[in-house]
Amino acid sequence: MAELTHYIGGTRVAGTSGRFADVFNPATGEVQAKVPLATQAELDAAVDRAAAAQPAWAATNPQKRARVMMEMVRLINRDMDKLAEALSREHGKTIPDAKGDVQRGLEVIEFCIGTPHLLKGEYTDNAGPGIDMFSMRQSLGVVAGITPFNFPAMIPLWKMGPALSCGNAFILKPSERDPSVCLMLAELFTEAGLPDDILQVVNGDKESVDAILDNETIQAIGFVGSTPIAAYIYERGCANGKRVQCFGGAKNHMIVMPDADMDQAADALIGAGYGAAGERCMAISVAVPVGDETADRLVEKLVPRIEKLKVGPYTAGDDVDYGPLVTGAAKERALGLVNSGLEQGAELVVDGRDFSLQGYEDGFFVGPHLFDRVTKDMDIYKQEIFAPVLCTVRAQSYEEAIGLAMDHEYGNGTAIFTRDGDTARDFAHRINIGMVGVNVPIPVPLAYHTFGGWKKSGFGDLNQHGPDAFKFYTRTKTVTARWPSGLKEGGEFAFKAMD
């Protein structure tokens, strides 16, 4: 059985704690590797090394730091197949999904090539008599990222790229469920020219997380995961004087208006609701057709599409629509919520509870589910299921439909399908949700915009990637300068009053 490592000082380093977590093959249910869980002492030692190396990296001019990102783009493209295979082997998602995971992270690295422009300050000539004022953006020092299992390449790259480009040293604590791709990415950064100790990958569990939160050297923390943990990290990190951004859970609604193209809406829901087995914070898990006739037409379109979905291991190639969930615990939780939906009165139109795959009976596969006539008091509506389960909530009007999304505690993403521009414009302007799609089911912004949810989906003032990331990982210093033009007798400068 493979024993994974940390990545410290530009090389793989064995753990010393004696504690390990299991890394499963989600398709078979077997343990395929052990990952070390760092102690506070191990984490602190990695931080100390990063702090010692960081000033020289910050002093490296932004163009040279950008060249590391340029080389990283080449290396990721070179190793795309290897990265995707490693990701699929531990997470379970299909190879096309895994490549998409890597690709969306790669796009942020491409954006970071513009670091010299993004770090430019402002300048005012002659702010006062002989006085100039200018600002500069400077690195924070050592910063950290705590990233989730569902996008083990994309989200670490979203954090690492901007943080490193800004001149910081970075401590990454990836998910212990699928850590291998992060170790591979760290090796690629070293190959791309990143100095040793500027990027450290420290595997761990809550002990490592708390060590990050309490370490006085770490200046900022980025997190993606569940809302309860996001709230915990945000509160404890802020209490310790750190800059913190945390992104939590989601319950994304897609409103389907009576004038929508029903085939287009149904196809969109298949991809957005069941792709990657529903393990996406931007997955559509609630369809809200407006009017019973619209709902009946939509469900009629969905059922045959859902029944044709092919579920299997990533090794089956392109013949698979989605793979298993990441762990047995995730499978048990999802099926528990499905059962609660039945108990609370929802209509289970497509039942995937008895799904079993020959030869993979012990894998963490969950068949596709479709609920109809879900109400907002049900657990399957209130909670993020993170599985291939789509809930249909019937609304009798546009106002009722938009109210469902606006009243929900989560505010990550939402979408509307309609042919009416006025309705779409009203929806986009009124909705209290961070990312909005108009006839686009998963409105994830591109790398040069910014990603972030509202309400209990996001904690902190700044979002991920785009210009916000460069603001988050730097602080502004403003300089007021005056150079006297004359001398008094005795050699003293003749200073002039600013006004």
- Residue 486's pLDDT is 56
Q: Could you tell me if residue 322 is inside a domain?
A: yes
**What is the bridge-based pairing of β-strands 389-392 and 347-350?**
unpaired
- Residue 497's pLDDT is 46
Q: pLDDT tens digits, residue range 300-336?
A: 999 999 999 999 999 998 889 999 999 999 999 999 9
Paired with 44 in beta bridges are none
- Helix 292-307 to helix 262-274 angle (10° resolution) is 50
Per-residue tokens: 237: 């990190």
Q: Could you tell me if residue 447 is inside a domain?
A: no
Given the structure tokens 């190879």, which residue do they identify? Answer: 95
Domain identity same for 107 and 175: yes
Q: 284 pLDDT exceeds 90?
A: yes
Q: pLDDT tens digits, residue range 122-172?
A: 999 999 888 999 999 999 999 999 999 999 999 999 999 999 999 999 999
- Residues 276-284, mean pLDDT to the nearest whole number: 96
- The backbone torsions φ and ψ at residue 8, rounded to the nearest 5 degrees and listed phi first, read -130, 135
| Contacts of 272 by beta carbon, 8 Å cutoff, 6+ apart | 254, 282, 283, 284, 415, 441, 442
Q: pLDDT tens digits, residue range 93-118?
A: 999 999 999 999 999 999 999 999 99
- Residue 318's pLDDT is 82
Domain identity same for 294 and 425: yes
Q: 496 pLDDT exceeds 70?
A: no
Domain identity same for 167 and 46: yes
CATH of the domain at 36: 3.40.605.10
DSSP assigned state of 258: T
At 407, which helix (H) or strand (E)? helix 398-407
Q: 488 pLDDT exceeds 70?
A: no
Band of pLDDT at residue 62, cut at 50, 70 and 90 = very high
**Tally of domains in the chain:** 2
How far is the C-alpha of 380 from the C-alpha of 258, rounded, in Å? 25
Q: Is 447 exposed, middle or buried (0-12, 13-18, 19+ CB in 10 A)?
A: buried
Which of 149, 146, 137 has the alpha carbon at shortest distance from 170? 146
Q: pLDDT tens digits, residue range 20-60?
A: 999 999 999 999 999 999 999 999 999 999 999 999 999 99
Per-residue tokens: 347: 């209509």
What percentage of the chain reaches a pLDDT higher than 90? 95
Q: Decide if 406 contacts 240 (C-beta within 8 A).
A: no
Domain identity same for 146 and 265: no
Domain identity same for 425 and 462: no
Q: pLDDT tens digits, residue range 358-370?
A: 999 999 999 999 9
Q: Decide if 5 contacts 174 (C-beta within 8 A).
A: no
pTM of the model: 0.94
CATH of the domain at 291: 3.40.309.10
Q: 493 pLDDT exceeds 80?
A: no
Q: Decide if 139 contacts 167 (C-beta within 8 A).
A: yes
Domain identity same for 167 and 288: no
DSSP assigned state of 452: -
Per-residue tokens: 340: 């609660």
Domain identity same for 230 and 300: no
The b-or-e profile of 205-235 (16+ CB within 10 A means b, else e) is eeebbbbbbbbebbbbbbbbbebebbebbbe
Domain identity same for 270 and 330: yes
How far is the C-alpha of 271 from the C-alpha of 247, rounded, in Å? 23
Distances in Å between the Cα of 118 and the Cα atoms of 104, 105, 134, 341 are 20, 18, 16, 48
Residues spanned by the domain of 56: 2-248+457-479
Q: Could you tell me if residue 492 is inside a domain?
A: no
Q: Could you tell me if residue 472 is inside a domain?
A: yes
Q: Could you tell me if residue 470 is inside a domain?
A: yes
Q: Could you tell me if residue 448 is inside a domain?
A: no
107: left (phi over 0), alpha (psi -120 to 50) or beta: alpha
- Residue 320's pLDDT is 95
Which of 452, 449, 453 has the alpha carbon at shortest distance from 467? 449
Q: Could you tell me if residue 199 is inside a domain?
A: yes
Instruction: Write down the catalytic residue from 166, 182, 246, 281.
Output: 281
- Residues 1-27, mean pLDDT to the nearest whole number: 97
Domain identity same for 154 and 203: yes
Domain identity same for 409 and 472: no
Q: pLDDT tens digits, residue range 216-243?
A: 999 999 999 999 999 999 999 999 999 9
- The backbone torsions φ and ψ at residue 305, rounded to the nearest 5 degrees and listed phi first, read -65, -45
Domain identity same for 210 and 263: no
Band of pLDDT at residue 485, cut at 50, 70 and 90 = confident
Chain centroid to Cα 30, Å, comes to 27
Q: pLDDT tens digits, residue range 340-387?
A: 999 999 999 999 999 999 999 999 999 999 999 999 999 999 999 999
Domain identity same for 351 and 417: yes
Q: pLDDT tens digits, residue range 430-470?
A: 999 999 999 999 999 999 999 999 999 999 989 999 999 99
Count CA within 13 A, CB hemisphere, residue 109: 26
How far is the C-alpha of 224 from the C-alpha of 240, rounded, in Å? 19
**Mean pLDDT (the chain, rounded):** 95
Q: 489 pLDDT exceeds 80?
A: no
- Residue 319's pLDDT is 87
- Residue 177's pLDDT is 97
Q: Decide if 475 contacts 137 (C-beta within 8 A).
A: yes
> With the C-alpha atoms ordered 439, 444, 447, 452, is the resulting torsion angle positive or negative?
positive
- Residue 499's pLDDT is 47
Residue 281 annotated to the active site: yes
